[in-house]
Amino acid sequence: MKTFFLVFLGGGLGSMARYLAYRAMSQTSYPIFISTMAVNIAGSLLLGVIMGYALKQGNFSQNILLFLTTGFCGGFTTFSTFAFENMSLLRAGDYLTFSLYSIGSLVAGILAVLGGLFLARLF
């Protein structure tokens, strides 16, 4: 039951952080999908740092990992919004932006996780 609560708490905090990031980025002139992409890349980087640090330490608490990764990072990043925005781009016939957003998000997310793993080695 404790692990469920930790994931619940982390997810709630991650969702609140995502909402604050969206609000901050809505003050810019960037299209809304840029906010989603930025949040997903930042979450991927954070996940890479957390996992890299945990692997390096070797004795990281499973509960803390669940709270930070499944909970916070899972609540902070958002695949459903990413999918909806892609559908909106397809419906609008904006195939170039759809392609750049989809491929860019995937590549940047993977590179961010790798970057996070690399950064964790520095600690």
CA–CA distance, 123 with 120 (Å, rounded to integer): 6
Residue 75 marked ligand-binding:
no
pLDDT for 123 equals: 82
Coil, strand or helix: which one is 30? coil
- For residue 32, which of 104, 107, 88, 76 has the smallest C-alpha distance? 88
pLDDT at 26 over 90: no
Residue 74 marked ligand-binding:
yes
pLDDT at 19 over 90: yes
pLDDT digits (tens, 9 = 90+) for 48-102: 999 999 999 888 899 999 999 999 999 999 898 999 999 999 999 999 999 999 9
Provide the whole-model pTM: 0.88
